[in-house]
C-alpha cells in the first residue's frame, strides 16, 4: 500500500509539468461511516452520520490516455462509529465504544471519464491516507476526548490507510459524486489477545464545483 501511494505521488509530480491544464475545485457532502470488526468470517459494524469538505485538483494524463486523469484532494472528514472491547473466550463483546472523530484525508485516485455531450461520467480508484486530529469516545469507563497513539490506553491509531472507489457525474462544471473508502489498517491502538480487528469504512455523497476555464 505504501509503495502504491508513493508511486502515485511520483506519477503526479512527473506529469504535472506536461499537463495541459490542472483543474481545481471544491466539494462538500454527507457520509455514513462504520467501524467494522472482523473476527474470522464474522463481521459486526456500528455506524454514524458524518460529513466532509474538501479542496481538490484534477491533473490530466493525456500523455497516457486522453480520458485518464489523476485526482487528489485535501479533505476535512467527520467519521467514527462503534465497536466492542473486552471480548470473552466465546467471542462475545464485553462493552460498546462509541466514537466520533475528525481527520485529514489525502486520497490520490486515477479516474477514467466517459463524455456524453455536456455530461461527463467518471469512475475512479486509488489509495488514501487518513490522519486523525481530535474526537470523543464514550464507553463504560470514559466519556470525553479521544487520544491517538500506539500504546495501551490510547483509543485509536493516529494514521489509517484505505482504498477508495468513486463515481462522479459532472454537468456545467458542477458535479455529484459517490465515494466509498475501505480502511485496511486495524484501528485499535491496543488489542488484547483474542479481540478482533477494527477497520474504518465510509460512504460519502458530495456536491461540488470545478473551476474550469
pLDDT at 155: 84
Residue 106's domain spans which residues? 2-210
Mean of per-residue pLDDT scores for the chain: 85
pLDDT tens, residue by residue, 152-208: 667 889 999 999 999 999 999 999 999 999 999 998 887 777 778 899 999 999 999
Query: How many domains, in total, are found in the chain?
Result: 1
Which pTM does this prediction carry?
Answer: 0.82
Average pLDDT over residues 32-55: 87
40: phi > 0 → left, psi -120 to 50 → alpha, else beta; which? left
Average pLDDT over residues 11-24: 62
Is the pLDDT reported for residue 146 higher than 80? yes
pLDDT at 94: 67
pLDDT tens, residue by residue, 47-71: 999 999 999 999 998 767 788 999 9
Average pLDDT over residues 33-37: 91
pLDDT at 189: 83
pLDDT at 4: 53
Question: Would you tell me how many other CB atoms lie within 10 Å of the CB of residue 90?
Answer: 5
Of all residues in the chain, the percent with pLDDT exceeding 90 is 55
CATH code of the domain containing 12: 2.40.160.20
Is the pLDDT reported for residue 213 higher than 90? no
Is the pLDDT reported for residue 12 higher than 60? no
Residues of the chain by 3-state class (helix, strand, coil), percent to 5: 5, 65, 30
The grid coordinates of residue 88 equal 470473552
Angle at 132 between CA 153 and CA 101, to 5 degrees: 80
Which residue is associated with the grid cell 466514537?
A: 99
Is the pLDDT reported for residue 121 higher than 80? yes
Amino acid at each position: 500500500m505504501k509503495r502504491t501511494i508513493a508511486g502515485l505521488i511520483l506519477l503526479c509530480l512527473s506529469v504535472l509539468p506536461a499537463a495541459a491544464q490542472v483543474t481545481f475545485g471544491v466539494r462538500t457532502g454527507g457520509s455514513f461511516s462504520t467501524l467494522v470488526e472482523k473476527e474470522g468470517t464474522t463481521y459486526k459494524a456500528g455506524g454514524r452520520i458524518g460529513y466532509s469538505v474538501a479542496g481538490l485538483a484534477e491533473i490530466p494524463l493525456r500523455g497516457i490516455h486522453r480520458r485518464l486523469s489523476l485526482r487528489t484532494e485535501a479533505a476535512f472528514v467527520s467519521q467514527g462509529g462503534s465497536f466492542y472491547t473486552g471480548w470473552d473466550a466465546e467471542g462475545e463483546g464485553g462493552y460498546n465504544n462509541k466514537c466520533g472523530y475528525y481527520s485529514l484525508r489525502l486520497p490520490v485516485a486515477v479516474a477514467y471519464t466517459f463524455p456524453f455531450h455536456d455530461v461527463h461520467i467518471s469512475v475512479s480508484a486509488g489509495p488514501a491516507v487518513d490522519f486523525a486530529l481530535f474526537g470523543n469516545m464514550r464507553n463504560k469507563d470514559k466519556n470525553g476526548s479521544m487520544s491517538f497513539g500506539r500504546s495501551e490506553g490510547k483509543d485509536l491509531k493516529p494514521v489509517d490507510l484505505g482504498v477508495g472507489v468513486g463515481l462522479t457525474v459532472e454537468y456545467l462544471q458542477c458535479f455529484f459524486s459517490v465515494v466509498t473508502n475501505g480502511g485496511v489498517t486495524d484501528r485499535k491502538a491496543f488489542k488484547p489477545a483474542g479481540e478482533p480487528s477494527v477497520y474504518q469504512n465510509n460512504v460519502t455523497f458530495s456536491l461540488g464545483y470545478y473551476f474550469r476555464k
